[in-house]
Amino acid sequence: MKKLHIPVEHTKLANGLRVVVSPDHSAPFVTVGVYYQIGFRLEPRGRSGFAHLFEHMMFQGSENAGKMEHIRLINASGGLLNGTTNYDVTNYFESVPSNALERMLWLEADRMRSLKVDDENLRNQRDVVKEEVRVNVMNQPYGGFPWLDLPPVAFRNWPNAHNFYGDFNDLDAATLDDVQAFFRTYYSPNNAVLLMLGDLDPAEAFIFAKRYFDDIPAHALPPHADVNESPQTEERRGEVEEKFGTLPALAIGYTVPPRTSKDWYAMAILDRVLHGGRAGRVHRQLVFEKKIAIGIDGGMDVFDVNGPTQMVTQIYHRPEFTSDATIGAYDQIIREVVEKEIGEDELAPVKVKFRADYYSMLEGGMGAHMPRFGLMHYLACFTLFDGDPDRINTVLDSFMAVTPAEVHAVAKKYLIPQNRAIVARRPVSAGEAR
Amino acid sequence: MTTPSVVTKPYPSSPPALGPERPVAWPKRTVRILPNGMHVVLVEARTFPKISAQLFFRSGNAVVAHSAPGLAEITASVARTGTATRSLRLIEEDLRRMGADLSAYAGADASAIGISGVAEFSESLLELLADVARNASFPEEEFERERRQRLEGLRIQRTTPDFLANERLRRVLFGKHPYAVVAPKEAQVAAYRRSQLEEFYRQNYSPANALLILVGDFSTGPMLEQVEKIFSGWKAAAPAEQKWSAPPRHSGRHVHLVHLPGSVQTQIMLGNLAITRSDPDWYRIVLANSIYGGAFHSRLVMNIREQKGYTYSPRSAINALREFGFFTVHAAVRNEVTAATLTEIFYEMDRMRSLPVTGEELEGARSYLSGVFSLGVATQEGALSQLSTVYLDRLPDDYLETYRARIHALTADDVLAAARRHFDSANGQIVLVGDRAQIADQAALFGDVTEYDAQGARV
């Protein structure tokens, strides 16, 4: 396969802000992002959902751009924007015609230096966030499955195990002081990376970055909280009631090896052998061959997580199969990869697909109107987590070099009951599985 | 980094001006009609070493809406499960070997097989695409499996508020026209016969009914030769055109309440018939919609999200199917503000119909549409989507090149005229999906109420 080379230049301002630039003149747009290294994993205790609520507040006004002004300016410049809260990062990003680059930096720098919000903004966004939780979780079949269901069962350490969308009581308890304290603690240039991609001149982009961000003061960051899990000694199980959906569902999660460890690369390839779409062993056997499952989803978040995480299989199964029978069929797939090494004849095509998916992600990754979102996302994670944006061009080599023996070793080491958690969603409409 | 750096000069209090707009290189198309009638559009996009292709057939679920609803959709999903020479497993493994994904689906107006993968395998990918399009074998076992999956999928869809709202509104707006049907009933899926799928495939998956769009990292000349080699031996006639009865005209507002017990929100979806992309008013209504509720910074979002906090993702949309278009407004709100939200939705609609928009709104919305339209060509996926709009809807050849100028030429009077014509506030059909006990009294404030269950039966 033709190897892709992404041009990347980067620097660090005196205040610690990392700046990463990648020129690409194929179309007259730029994608700009600011990633802060704070996600829902490290939100304050007693304030579940706060990191996400805070993300909403970042659109509510800064010193020179009042409420809705960020959104108005980006839309009126011909662009689209969004922000998302993740385990270990929160991001703010926009794609605009390339003549709006400098304006985007003015906006992002304004809200990095000054969050100007009031109680009314907080009340308003708390209401909006509650409707977000209702529409995505409480009023949807399989809402929150499994991303909200599995962590409290799989993990014991609060940062990994709490409700990331937030209990409504905790959202109600959040105050404006909490908002400003969170901003002062984590939204500091030395805890962030600025990314600029697309139709731009790198030298000019660096000048803009310095012009708007250079005098934002750095703050001492709190020591990184301990997010490690104590060793697990037995399989963990949980159950959640499914209020609307008609099929029983299972989520099976195995905790994966730490980011960038040797095992991590092999685990990511093993994940694609098992999942990896309709050719993957889980879909082929459970949906196509045994016809136990109606739908399969899942996999491992490879690049954008920096702490305990799982390879998760979601199985929506026919009600005439019990949970136990379904888990039994799944376990047979697991036994096969534990007992017998997977040959290069199967790994080679899996690696081709891995590389193809990586390129697709770099090109788009969030719909047709946010070009190079994936490139931005991966560059940000390689910068913040690994200190090395150039990994964008080298990281694939380590996945491509994974051997059958290494895959076999991680299967034996990690695909064990003492390393997994299972959550069942049981439809109230169907009663017990027939 | 514990010492704050010194702030030396004040931060500029207003945003920097935009630089000069840079020209957009619109996709350079090579368009051919093969002797068998197949339309082919090729576009080089060489930034990433991949290709994306869509093979459309201009027949979708509308042509079977009165005989076997949803037949086009299940035909597409079973067509990809086996050919004369490939089993399901071989198809999936061939795709993986080429780093590829395949999709097969049908909407109201078209069926489509899409393939995207690594550029160096482009010839084999096209061969696989042609194999699925020409030689599908419809294995009995896979048909039965897909039928069961469709049945279970339908059961879940009928617990999903936005699906139920869309299904009901389409019924109301389109009446006896085939666009009224967005999904089959369970009994209709149970009644499908394998021979019906084969017949649909034989009649509609034909080169004279086909449009192939190919975007990617290739050279046009050799790629065109490959396409001709792979597809020119394929001969079959186009299906006959069908004529359908017109959708009903509605007079006065009416509320259609779909009862979903235990719902903690009301899914609001309301709308009226509007126009297609070939209507001279199209650009005007697109601009009016953008100011009303089609963008994040629109009046509807400002009002019911940013001021009132009733909802997370309100929006309005102009939807264009081949024969008709329709205007819709969507919001999922907590039950107690259902009536209050409807009041604001109609207020903002009436304001668009009564007063010209401000100069700042007009300028902002024109820039928004113009900019976002050009973002659409920056990825293969985006370019393919734009090209499929042009060639499936048979829009003028210069649609992409002239879109931005047409938008920039519009005035506040154009927006006002379009809103008056196409935001039919007085005759809006209102669908509410939610718990009847929570919202029935609020619903009754907006017109006569007809109640349904999730299966579509009157209650």
Q: Is B361 near chain A, with CB under 8 Å?
A: no
% chain A with pLDDT above 70: 98
Predicted-complex ipTM score: 0.95
pLDDT at B9: 72
Residues of chain A with C-beta less than 8 angstroms from the C-beta of B296: 71, 75, 80-81
Query: Which of A68, A107, A141 is the closest to B302 by Cβ?
Result: A68
pLDDT at A1: 66
Confidence grade of residue A313 (pLDDT, cut at 50, 70, 90): very high
Confidence grade of residue A434 (pLDDT, cut at 50, 70, 90): very low
Query: Which of A14, A64, A364 is the closest to B11 by Cβ?
Result: A64
**Average pLDDT, whole number, for chain B?**
96
Q: Mind listing the pLDDT tens digit for each residue in A131-189?
A: 999 999 999 999 999 999 999 999 999 999 999 999 999 999 999 999 999 999 999 99
Residues of chain B with C-beta less than 8 angstroms from the C-beta of A345: none
pLDDT at B19: 84
Which one-letter amino acid corresponds to residue A89?
V
CB B212 within 8 A of CB B108: no
Question: Which structural domains are found in chain B, ordered by start?
Answer: 29-231 (3.30.830.10), 254-452 (3.30.830.10)
CB A146 within 8 A of CB A240: no
What chain A residue is nearest to B90 in terms of C-alpha separation?
A: A279
User: For residue B191, how many other CB atoms are within 10 A of its CB?
Assistant: 12
Q: Is B377 near chain A, with CB under 8 Å?
A: yes
Query: Which of B3, B9, B312 is the closest to A128 by Cβ?
Result: B312
Largest separation between any pair of C-alpha atoms in chain B: 78
Q: What is the signed CA dihedral for A348, A349, A352, A354, rounded to 10 degrees?
A: -100
Q: Is B359 near chain A, with CB under 8 Å?
A: no
Min Cα distance B88 → chain A (Å) is 9
Question: Per-residue pLDDT for B2 more than 90?
Answer: no
DSSP class of residue A311 equals E
Query: Which of B8, B296, B310 is the closest to A75 by Cβ?
Result: B296
Which one-letter amino acid corresponds to residue B160?
T
Residue B291 phi/psi, 5-degree rounding, is: -75, -35
% chain A with pLDDT above 90: 96
**How many CB contacts within 8 angstroms connect chain A with chain B?**
276
What chain A residue is nearest to B361 in terms of C-alpha separation?
A: A76
Query: Which of B156, B306, B332 is the closest to A68 by Cβ?
Result: B306
Distance CA A371, CA A356 (A): 17
Q: Mind listing the pLDDT tens digit for each residue in B194-233?
A: 999 999 999 999 999 999 999 999 999 999 999 999 999 9
Residue A218: helix, strand or coil by DSSP?
coil
- Span of A217-231, B4-18, B401-415, B419-433 with lowest mean pLDDT: B4-18
- Check A135 against B3: CB less than 8 A apart: no
pLDDT at A368: 84
- Check B22 against A28: CB less than 8 A apart: yes
Question: Per-residue pLDDT for B446 more than 70?
Answer: yes
Confidence grade of residue B432 (pLDDT, cut at 50, 70, 90): very high
Residues of chain A with C-beta less than 8 angstroms from the C-beta of B115: none
Which one-letter amino acid corresponds to residue A39?
G
Distance CA B401, CA B405 (A): 8
Q: What is the DSSP string of A350-402?
A: HHHHHHHHHHHHHH-SS-TTSTTHHHHHHHHHHHHHHS-TTHHHHHHHHHHT-
% chain B with pLDDT above 90: 95
Confidence grade of residue B21 (pLDDT, cut at 50, 70, 90): confident
Question: Per-residue pLDDT for B143 more than 80?
Answer: yes
**Average pLDDT, whole number, for chain A?**
96
The answer for B 5-34 residues in CB contact with A (under 8 A) is 5-9, 11-25
Q: Mind listing the pLDDT tens digit for each residue in B388-420?
A: 999 999 999 999 999 999 999 999 999 999 999
Question: Which structural domains are found in chain A, ordered by start?
Answer: 9-213 (3.30.830.10), 236-427 (3.30.830.10)
CB A288 within 8 A of CB A277: no
Min Cα distance A307 → chain B (Å) is 24
Structure tokens at B354: 């009564």
**Alpha carbon A316 to chain centroid distance?**
23
Confidence grade of residue B10 (pLDDT, cut at 50, 70, 90): confident
Distance CA B425, CA B345 (A): 9
pTM as predicted = 0.96
Confidence grade of residue B8 (pLDDT, cut at 50, 70, 90): low
- Check A100 against B18: CB less than 8 A apart: yes
CB A215 within 8 A of CB B6: yes
Question: Per-residue pLDDT for B3 more than 50?
Answer: no
For the segment A245-259, the average pLDDT, to the nearest whole number, is 97
Question: Per-residue pLDDT for A433 more than 70?
Answer: no
pLDDT at A430: 55
Confidence grade of residue A197 (pLDDT, cut at 50, 70, 90): very high
Q: Which residues pair with A92 in a beta bridge?
A: A34, A83
Residues of chain A with C-beta less than 8 angstroms from the C-beta of B159: 141, 244-246
In a mutational test of the B interface, the residue from A353, A355, A362 whose CB has the highest number of chain B CBs within 10 Å is A353
- Check B22 against A127: CB less than 8 A apart: no
Q: Which residues contact B233 (CB under 8 A, 6 or more apart)?
A: none
Structure tokens at B271: 């709308």
Query: Which of A131, A349, A353 is the closest to B332 by Cβ?
Result: A131
Confidence grade of residue B20 (pLDDT, cut at 50, 70, 90): confident
For the segment B74-89, the average pLDDT, to the nearest whole number, is 98
